[in-house]
């Protein structure tokens, strides 16, 4: 595998951005574990936190190998910080439903799309064939986190309509995620990807009640 200095910088910027998402997912799942009283959910969330820490370390190692002198100009940090604020507010209120919405359903829904594209891009360029197993492992784990969020959210609803506060909140999360994806436009362009395609794919995978709200 040969990468030019520029390719190393750009992949490293992407990894450094993903790292922030993994850190947020770790913090969130760790706190969520204490909000759920049933053993199965607690166990899943503690396991998720452990997996997010592993993902964090994978991307951290990638950044260290690709750019040993460090990296600047990491995209999306402002949006990740804002997203973290919203999510932490819900965790501080002990709002299990909103935390599942913000993390497992929405952020990890987008993460799923992103990791799938990145993995496909790596296959296409024949970059990092050695770490194929790790990529597939992460993909499978992220899929499971997203599915858990959808199932647990529905179970908490108990067939009631979606509360207004969650309807409104979903739009706040959606807006931030859109802004996040567009802040990565130069990276997308570099890797021949398209921000709008990501968003369309992400929105198509969301529960209908979120898409319907979006204009
Ligand atoms: Fe993760
Ligand atoms: Fe995850």
User: What does the pLDDT look like over 70-114, one tens digit per residue?
Assistant: 998 899 999 999 999 999 999 999 999 999 999 999 999 998 888
Tell me which of 3.20.20.80, 1.10.150.120, 2.160.10.10, 1.20.1260.10 is the CATH number of domain 5-213: 1.20.1260.10
Look at residues 161, 176, 160, 143 and name the one whose alpha carbon lies nearest to residue 209: 161
Which ligand has the nearest atom to the CA of 107? Answer: 2
CA of 180 to the centre of ligand 1 (A): 17
End-to-end CA distance of the chain: 44
Q: What percent of the chain has pLDDT over 70?
A: 93
pTM of the full structure: 0.92
The closest alpha carbon to 94, from 33, 41, 173, belongs to 33
Give 25 Cα–ligand 2 centroid separation in angstroms: 6
Provide the pLDDT for residue 97. Answer: 97
């Amino acid at each position: 595998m040969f990468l030019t200095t520029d390719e190393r910088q750009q992949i490293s910027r992407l990894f450094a951005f993903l790292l922030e998402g993994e850190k947020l997912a770790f913090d969130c799942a760790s706190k969520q574990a204490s909000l759920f009283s049933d053993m199965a959910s607690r166990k899943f969330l503690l396991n998720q936190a452990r997996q997010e820490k592993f993902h964090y370390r994978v991307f951290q190692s990638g950044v260290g190998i690709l750019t040993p002198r460090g990296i600047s100009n990491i995209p999306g940090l402002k949006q990740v910080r804002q997203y973290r604020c919203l999510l932490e507010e819900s965790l501080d209120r002990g709002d299990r439903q909103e935390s599942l919405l913000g993390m497992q359903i929405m952020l990890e829904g987008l993460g799923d799309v992103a990791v799938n594209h990145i993995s496909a891009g790596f296959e296409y360029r024949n970059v990092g064939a050695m770490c194929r197993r790790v990529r597939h492992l992460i993909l499978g784990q992220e899929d499971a986190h997203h599915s858990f969020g959808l199932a647990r959210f529905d179970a908490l609803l108990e067939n009631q309509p979606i509360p207004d506060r969650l309807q409104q909140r979903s739009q706040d999360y959606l807006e931030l995620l859109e802004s996040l994806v567009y802040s990565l436009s130069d990276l997308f362009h570099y890797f021949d990807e398209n921000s709008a395609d990501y968003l369309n794919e992400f929105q198509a995978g969301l529960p209908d009640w979120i898409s319907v709200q979006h204009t």
